Structure 1
Amino acid sequence: MTFNQLRAFLAVAETQALRAAARRLNVSQPAVSKAMRELERQLDVCLFERHANGVVLTDYGHAFRRRASLLIEEMRRTHEEMDAIRHGTEQSLSIAVSSAIALSVLPVAFEAFRQAMPRSQVHFSEGVMPMALAQLRDGSVDFVATHVLPGMVSEEFEVTHLFSTPVAVCARKGHPLARTRRLKKLVDAHWLAPGYAEENGDVLRQLFSQHGLPVPAQAVRCQSFTVALGLLSQTDTLSVLAEPMVRGTLNAQGIVALPLQDRMPVVAGIVVTRKGAVLSRSAQLFVQCLRDADAQRTHPR
């Protein structure tokens, strides 16, 4: 299959019409129809159902759409990397980063990367799970740097471990429960469930169930770190965040860790890549910078 076939397929999938796809690509409608017939013949499946008002993706079409997007991105990155080598320039990089990574190892890693590749363009997005994995799956990002509970990343991805850290229950300074020492006294509190929980209350379920306690009923899932910070600092909600974040950067924002005596779950800081994917030189370097930054943090000279 060719780049033009993939591009035509994605245009048809997005517009749901051969004529509209042809206009978008600035080619003739027969050319788009021919590309679709050739693609279906090569794959030996029916990608579309044709109707009077346009086309609709079949199950094969939906599955192939995900693959086609990834193939297009890989082709683009391949051409970009070849051009970078040819002209002595540096390749752009797209990374999804979670809040715990952003507030711990990312600043040092980014500074080291920028010194090594000063002309490389880096685009960061918020690495909220599971959306970040969807971005990785379709090729929108080169890799994901995030913090997760055990078992959250499936075997379809490759994982590089950076660090492990316990979580902390946190609240605003002056919160009525800020000095609470036992988890059982927090069951009826208002909670924000962190965005890296795949299901509402996932991390809270692990936290409370491991101590034989019921999961708080008043828990709101919050996938935005900015929203969580605003609510935590100005309302009487509680949440669970990586301990270094709470005791470091967030403490200056008026967020404190509760002095709980109960054992806390552990989250892992990891780098996630597509299994079998060949990272670009810039991506490989940034991953190494993250690992070096964590080594400096945990074993300072």
Structure 2
Amino acid sequence: MPAAIERLSKRLPRLRVRLEQGTASHQFNLLRQRQCEIVISRLLTETPDSDIEMQPLFYESLVVVAGPQSSWSRRRKLTLSELVDVPWILSTLEAESGSPFVEAFRAAKLSIPAATIFSNSLHLRISLLATGRYLTLVPGSALQFGPGADLLKALPVALPRWHLPTAIFTLKGRMLSPVAQVFANCIRDVAKPLA
């Protein structure tokens, strides 16, 4: 999202963007109430609601990260078995069955690490990673495009991608305004390297 906004703001300096964060159901309700035109999110169920149109962009990867000062960040090789008892910061979705994190540990026949801290806040995660004690997960797209990437050190641990795509969601039968269409096209262009 930040890369698309930056690209468009150079092209359309008078552009005004309003971003709303929240759960998928909250975001879809904003579509239904016509308070927004598009939602960019990862699909959380196998199919969207019948009134929602989906255009897949990419399948998000998850990256295991530590703070740059962490002893983990100096390791060239790591196995999942070494990470079972580490203090983890996870979101509830990352700790649920079906997440790439859980599936990787299950496939390796290992116990699923317990989260020491549950949070969706990237700011909190980055702040706590600076202590060197914790590991967390970040979307590969956030590591590539997001702020603070220099505060994160990707660890050499491979996880599968999410099996549900990150997509553009719109209300079926609703024509997008020209500006929303330009924004959606820009999102598609920015997301191409992640596909």
Q: By the TM > 0.5 criterion, same fold?
A: yes
How high is the sequence identity, in percent, across the aligned residues? 24
* Aligned match for 2:48, one of 149, 154, 167: 154
Tell me the amino acid that sits aligned with residue 229 of structure 1. I
Which residue of structure 1 lines up, in the alignment, with residue 9 of structure 2?
A: 114
1:201 equivalent to 2:95? Answer yes
Separation of aligned partners in 1, 2:116 and 2:27? 23
Deviations 1:31-67 (A, max 9, x none): xxxxxxxxxxxxxxxxxxxxxxxxxxxxxxxxxxxxx
After superposition, the CA RMSD in angstroms is 3.1
User: CA 1:175 to 1:130, structure 2 compared with 1: closer, same or farther past 3 Å?
Assistant: farther
* Aligned match for 1:252, one of 133, 150, 169: 150
Give the unaligned 5+ runs of structure 2: none
| 8 Å contact kept, 2:56–2:168 | yes
User: CA 1:152 to 1:207, structure 2 compared with 1: closer, same or farther past 3 Å?
Assistant: farther
Paired residue total = 186
1:279 equivalent to 2:176? Answer yes
* Aligned match for 1:145, one of 31, 36, 40: 40
| 8 Å contact kept, 2:65–2:135 | yes
More helix as a share of residues:
1
| 8 Å contact kept, 2:54–2:168 | yes
| 8 Å contact kept, 2:57–2:166 | yes
Separation of aligned partners in 2, 1:230 and 1:280? 39
| 8 Å contact kept, 2:71–2:132 | no
Which residue of structure 2 lines up, in the alignment, with residue 167 of structure 1?
A: 62
* Secondary structure of 1:123's aligned partner: coil
Bigger Rg, which one: 1
Deviations 1:239-296 (A, max 9, x none): 111235336654412x111112xx412144321223333322211110011112334x
Tell me the amino acid that sits aligned with residue 139 of structure 2. A
Deviations 1:174-193 (A, max 9, x none): 32333251012211222122
User: CA 1:205 to 1:152, structure 2 compared with 1: closer, same or farther past 3 Å?
Assistant: farther
Tell me the amino acid that sits aligned with residue 207 of structure 1. A
Give the unaligned 5+ runs of structure 1: 1-101
1:265 equivalent to 2:163? Answer no
> Equivalences for 1:210-225 in 2 at 5 Å?
210-225=107-122
Structure 1 residue 149: deviation in Å?
A: 6.6
Higher relative contact order (CA 8 A, sep 6+): 2
Separation of aligned partners in 2, 1:152 and 1:231? 33
* Secondary structure of 1:122's aligned partner: coil
Separation of aligned partners in 2, 1:149 and 1:211? 26
Which residue of structure 2 lines up, in the alignment, with residue 187 of structure 1?
A: 84
| 8 Å contact kept, 1:247–1:257 | no
Tell me the amino acid that sits aligned with residue 176 of structure 1. S
Which residue of structure 2 lines up, in the alignment, with residue 240 of structure 1?
A: 137
Structure 1 residue 136: deviation in Å?
A: 3.6
Deviations 1:195-239 (A, max 9, x none): 6x2xx7123323322333222123432122222222223352211
* Aligned match for 2:185, one of 260, 274, 288: 288
Separation of aligned partners in 2, 1:256 and 1:151? 31
Q: TM-score, normalized by length of structure 2?
A: 0.75
Structure 1 residue 112: deviation in Å?
A: 4.3
